[in-house]
């Protein structure tokens, strides 16, 4: 060890991400190897900051999320991820404190940013330097699949691969290559009825999945082409097609995962009318009711204004392409 025990501490911040082409269904559930490649944008304003302090005298991990000690499933998941990391480095327990920039219970996925920040803080806290981004991405993937994309900033591609070594995310295009915004409309803060871990398993046995896998390589190529060419209408049409295909599989699975709320569907109808009126904005959805409206950043204020005109109480979180995971010198504990 290069450091004394007082300095076995590090803090990392990672942005969440929104998938344009989705990871839904796993080839290997233990290693979070997906059935298909996916493509995302890291979010500038939905991030998690996590401090990990290893303590050789501690008998159990202590996990705090948004200021509260967590002993439920979330704490168990954090400890399970630390188990993997300490099996490779030193067998100590840790105090972990994590805060989300977005309010808890908004239904925004915190597992991508959470596991990316946890991975980097935990490894950095050993004081022996960080592995390269490919390796960090693999480690983050073991905590939560989508977390492997949050190691990078900008536009990110996760190559599904076939095993632990080949399944990792890499930068597709820097964030400043195209100034898109993801306007997240917070439709509901209720916890998901069906967590994504179960959703992935239901999807993997869905009869439509084989057809989806055949369609995806062409869609990925087209989507990457539209991003590289910064062609918003082509990108938008592919974005919606992908979102609706995945929702179709979610809804028609056994059991059914019906993630959109009534208001989500109402907003989609309105968005399509706004588009006919000239607003170039398209949506995507994840495993929840919040609507993600993608547009060029110059049109984001217009999207927010129109959403607010539907109901002034509706909250919107505007995200531009965020940066990669970073180490901070200010610690939470």
**Measured distance CA(101)–CA(157) in Å, rounded:** 24
Q: Residue 16 interacts with ligand PMV (CB under 6 A)?
A: no
Sequence-separated (6 or more) residues with CB below 8 Å from residue 164:
31, 33, 138
Residues 230-269, one symbol each (x = binds ligand PMV by CB under 6 A, - = not), give: ----------------------------------------
The residue among 61 and 157 lying less far from ligand PMV, judged by its C-beta, is 157
Of 51, 150, 138, nearest in space to 110 by CA: 150
How many chain residues bind ligand PMV (CB under 6 A)? 13
Contact present, 157 and 185 (Cβ < 8 Å): no
Comparing C-alpha atoms, which of 165, 126, 120, 171 is closest to residue 322? Answer: 171
CA distance 285 to 320: 17
Is 102 a binding residue for ligand PMV by CB under 6 A? The answer is no
Answer for which of 281, 287, 304, 332 binds ligand PMV (CB under 6 A) is 287
**330 CB neighbour count, 10 Å cutoff:** 8
Decide the pairing of beta strands 62-65 and 93-100.
parallel
State which of residues 16, 51, 101, 111 lies at the interface with ligand PMV (CB under 6 A): 111
CA–CA distance, 255 with 103 (Å, rounded to integer): 30
In the bound state with ligand PMV, the residue whose beta carbon lies nearer, of 144 and 167, is 144
Closest CA to 290 of 204, 147, 199, 191: 191
Q: Is position 38 an interface residue for ligand PMV (rule: CB under 6 A)?
A: yes
* Among the listed residues 40, 43, 294, 280, the one whose alpha carbon sits nearest the alpha carbon of residue 173: 40
Q: Does residue 291 bind ligand PMV (CB under 6 A)?
A: no
Q: In the complex with ligand PMV, which residue's Cβ is closer, 110 or 295?
A: 110
Chain-centroid distance, C-alpha 203: 18
Side-chain-facing half-sphere of 42: CA atoms under 13 Å: 34
Contact between 290 and ligand PMV (CB under 6 A)? no
- Is 19 a residue that touches ligand PMV (CB under 6 A)? yes
Q: Which stretch binds ligand PMV (CB under 6 A): 84-92, 144-152, 168-176, 273-281?
A: 144-152
Tell me if 203 contacts ligand PMV by CB under 6 A. Answer: no
Which listed residue (16, 144, 150, 167) binds ligand PMV by CB under 6 A?
144
| Using rule CB under 6 A, residue 46 touches ligand PMV | no
For ligand PMV, the binding residue among 10, 82, 109, 243 (CB under 6 A) is 109
Chain residues binding ligand PMV by CB under 6 A are: 19, 22-24, 38, 109, 111, 144-146, 196, 286-287
């Amino acid at each position: 060890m290069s450091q004394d025990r007082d300095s076995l501490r590090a803090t990392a911040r990672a942005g969440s991400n929104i998938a344009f082409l989705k990871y839904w269904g796993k080839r290997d559930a233990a290693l979070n190897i997906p059935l298909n490649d996916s493509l995302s944008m890291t979010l500038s304003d939905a991030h998690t900051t996590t401090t990990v302090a290893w303590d050789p005298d501690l008998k159990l991990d202590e996990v705090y999320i948004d200021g509260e000690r967590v002993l439920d499933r979330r704490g168990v998941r954090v400890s399970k991820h630390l188990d993997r990391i300490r099996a490779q480095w030193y067998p100590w327990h840790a105090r972990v404190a994590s805060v989300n920039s977005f309010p808890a219970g908004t239904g925004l996925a915190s597992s991508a940013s959470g596991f990316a920040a946890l991975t980097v803080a935990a490894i950095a806290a050993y004081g022996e330097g960080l592995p390269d981004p490919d390796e960090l991405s693999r480690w983050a993937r073991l905590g939560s699949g989508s977390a492997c994309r949050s190691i990078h900033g900008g536009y990110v591609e996760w190559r599904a691969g076939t095993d632990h070594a080949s399944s990792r995310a890499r930068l597709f295009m820097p964030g400043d290559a195209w100034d898109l915004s993801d306007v997240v409309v917070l439709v509901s803060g209720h916890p998901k009825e069906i967590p994504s871990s179960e959703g992935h398993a239901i999807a993997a046995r869905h009869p439509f999945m084989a057809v989806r896998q055949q369609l995806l390589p062409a869609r990925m190529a087209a989507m990457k082409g539209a991003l590289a060419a910064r062609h918003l209408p082509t990108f938008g049409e592919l974005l919606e097609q992908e979102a609706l295909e995945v929702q179709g599989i979610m809804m028609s699975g056994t059991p059914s995962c019906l993630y959109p709320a009534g208001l989500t569907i109402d907003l989609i109808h309105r968005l399509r009318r706004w588009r006919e009126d000239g607003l170039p904005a398209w949506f995507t959805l994840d495993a929840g009711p919040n609507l993600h409206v993608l547009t060029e950043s110059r049109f984001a204020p217009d999207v927010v204004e129109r959403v607010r005109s539907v109901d002034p109480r509706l909250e919107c979180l505007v995200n531009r392409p965020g940066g990669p995971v970073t180490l901070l010198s200010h610690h939470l504990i």
